[in-house]
Amino acid sequence: MSNPRRPPIVGRFMQEEVALASRNSGMPLEALRYDVTPAGLHYLLVHFDIPAADPGWKLSIGGQVSNSRALSVDEVKALPQKTLRVTLECAGNGRGQMSPRYPSMPWLEEGVSTAEWTGTPLAALLAAAKVDPGAKEIIFRGTDRGIDRGVDHDYARSLSVAEAMRPDVLVVHSMNGQPLLPQHGAPLRLVVPGWYGMASVKWLARIEATDVPFDGVQQVGSYHFRTQAGEAGVPCTYIRVNSLMAPPGIPDFFTRRRIVAPGRVNLTGRAWSGDGVPINRVEVSIDGQWRDAKLDPVAGPWAWRGWSCEWEAVPGEVVLACRATDAKGNVQPDEPVPDVTGFGNNSIHRVAVTVTGEVG
């Protein structure tokens, strides 16, 4: 059991890391109980400041198109609509478990959530704008501005034309049936299912077709897997196979260690992968012994899949873990794959538990 006394620690936190961890927020793991994460529990990642959503908001579509246009939010809403259940995960999720650590948002494992997003397929907007046949990429610009790596810029990302034309890429105005909240991109955002979260540009104001590879800071300066600082690296794109367990029992306040009463426990959680690849298998480990979990029905190509596993808890200290395998045979690694900036950590989730009859 944990030390009930917590003597003061001399010295301050690293202010920048605390500021990031307080401004942004993870999904509390007990919220894994919801198929669709309530909007207020959805994880949040904002690089700069949340910009104001002016009533006269326009979404412009230009660059290498023959029919450039600027649409109001109502005009976007008047186009054919689609609602999709999509699991988003931050590419930096799991960074806080890695050592040495990169100074950025110190997620442990809670930078993931699932929402139902409603909006207009981007492909329809691009078709109406008539993208030039020579265009190679589509750039998406938000209105949030700041400085990163010494460069002053509006948050922006690009997709290849082929990725942008996928029928489930949406320009979204609603989340879980309600207008987007300010922090989640109101009034309009992109949602790119199957990709790590950085592709889903919030506060979307400008879409541009181009035949030149986009070299924005958020495209080339960040969001690359790099095993050594300075190397070109591999761009972060589709979400890697991953899973989480809803922590059983009750927590110790400070250590978050779980306290569980002996007897039958129904362990539950969620598993997901990127690029629409289904989850085929989830295994649960009780002190290193792996067994298969029961999978819930599939909830669409872009949403996490629930799982459950019965456990007969006997008094003692135990480490639980879960591990998912997707239909392409990708499986979560035991330990984080080394990455300089802490991207793509999909190592297995471990939960330390004390089983005791003294509580519960």
Ligand X SMILES: Nc1nc2c(c(=O)[nH]1)N[C@H]1C(S)=C(S)[C@@H](COP(=O)(O)O)O[C@H]1N2
- Asked if 198 touches ligand X (CB under 6 A), the answer is yes
Nearer to ligand X among residue 203 and residue 304 (C-beta): 203
Question: Considering the complex, what minimum distance in angstroms separates the CB of residue 197 from Mo ion?
Answer: 4
Decide: is 185 part of the binding site for Mo ion (CB under 5 A): no
For tokens 């890429």, the residue is 169
Q: Which of 42, 95, 257, 305 binds ligand X (CB under 6 A)?
A: 42
Site string (125-144) toward ligand X, x via CB under 6 A = -----------------x-x
End-to-end distance of the chain based on CA atoms, in angstroms?
Answer: 15
Told to check if 237 binds ligand X by CB under 6 A, we report no
Instruction: Out of 32, 44, 45, 239, name the contact with Mo ion by CB under 5 A.
Output: 45
Q: How many residues bind Mo ion (CB under 5 A)?
A: 4
- x/- contact string, 147-166, with ligand X (CB under 6 A)? --------x-----------
Longest Cα–Cα distance in the chain: 72
From the list 56-64, 79-87, 197-205, 290-298, the region that binds ligand X by CB under 6 A is 197-205
Q: Looking at 37, 64, 200, 242, which residue binds ligand X (CB under 6 A)?
A: 200
Range in contact with ligand X (rule: CB under 6 A) among 11-19, 193-201, 235-243, 346-354: 193-201
What residues line the site for Mo ion (CB under 5 A)? Answer: 45, 90, 197-198
